Amino acid sequence: MRKLIVLAVVGLAAQLVDGSLGMGYGVTSSTLLVLVGLTPAAASASVHFSELGTNLASGASHWRLKNVDWRVVSRIAGPGAVGAFLGATVLSHLSTAAAAPVMATILALLGLYIIARFILGVRPRINRALTIRFLAPLGLFAGFVDATGGGGWGPVATPALLADGRMEPRKVIGSIDTAEFAVSTAASLGFLVGLGSAGIHWGFALALLAGGLVAAPLAAYLVRIVPAHLLGVAVGGIILLTNSRTLLKSAEAPDPLRFVVYGAVLVLAVVGLYLTAVRHRRREADRSADRSEDLEPLSV
């Protein structure tokens, strides 16, 4: 019972992150489920079944707050669903021993990418318009990574659309969260085909769902008012730390090496939090200075 309560809290926190950043629910939840003993395929399956409810609630909340561009949703959701189904069937047929380091590697890379995205401001250099020729391959790839890694739809798709610069950030996040319902549905079907219903931990899925449903409306509101820079680095650090542990355990690394890696990840996260906070303060100061200059009376 205690474990289910913890998972519900994790689901709430993960949905707050995902709904306000457009990324983080899958990678955060999948990481924890693997740590408590689920196989990579079962963890990803449980997360995607919980996302059926959280994505629906999140999409409805973003729609009510006018955070959704339905043209983008219609062009990226279908390819994303195809990629997710393929990824789920691939993961379902990997052995547990082979899947654990594969999934941990994907999640660790996603965690590192999230940290880099917020510390360094790294964004894909994509200049194409938001057409089906751009969105379809992006959705296919993001959906495949999402299913095989237990998460990744947001970390792949959200920064790509933000880099294009044609949409407001809140509409990017709202549109990606809304399209994710199709991705979660397809991934869930893929896991049912590959694992069967007995291979899915329904209790864990329902616990994550309960927490996520509570957080979804609040997250859709927070995306309009709260800066996400600190939250992004913190989530990326947690994901990188926990999956580094899995990889080092799989490689049977000695304890001294493990402690060095854990320490390096913690230092990276702390430094990242500091740098992003400083950048945010400078940006706000520059904006205030620009507004002050605009308000100065013209000399005669």
What share of the chain has pLDDT > 90, as a percent? 10
**pLDDT tens digits, residue range 217-231?**
776 676 566 566 666
Q: How confident is the model at residue 298 (pLDDT cuts 50, 70, 90)?
A: very low
Phi, then psi, of 95 in degrees rounded to 5: -70, 155
**CA-CA distance, 280 to 288, in Å (whole number)?**
12
Q: How far apart are CA 94 and CA 271, in angstroms?
A: 37
CA distances from 267 to 27, 36, 97 (A): 21, 25, 30
Alpha-carbon 128 to chain mean position: 23
The average pLDDT across 239-259 equals 83
Contact between residue 144 and residue 156 where contact means Cβ atoms under 8 Å apart: no
Count CB neighbours of 262 within 10 A: 14
CA–CA–CA angle 73, 79, 80 (5° rounding): 75
Whole-number pLDDT of residue 300: 46
CA distance 92 to 45: 9
- Report the pLDDT value the prediction gives residue 124, as an integer from 0 to 100: 47
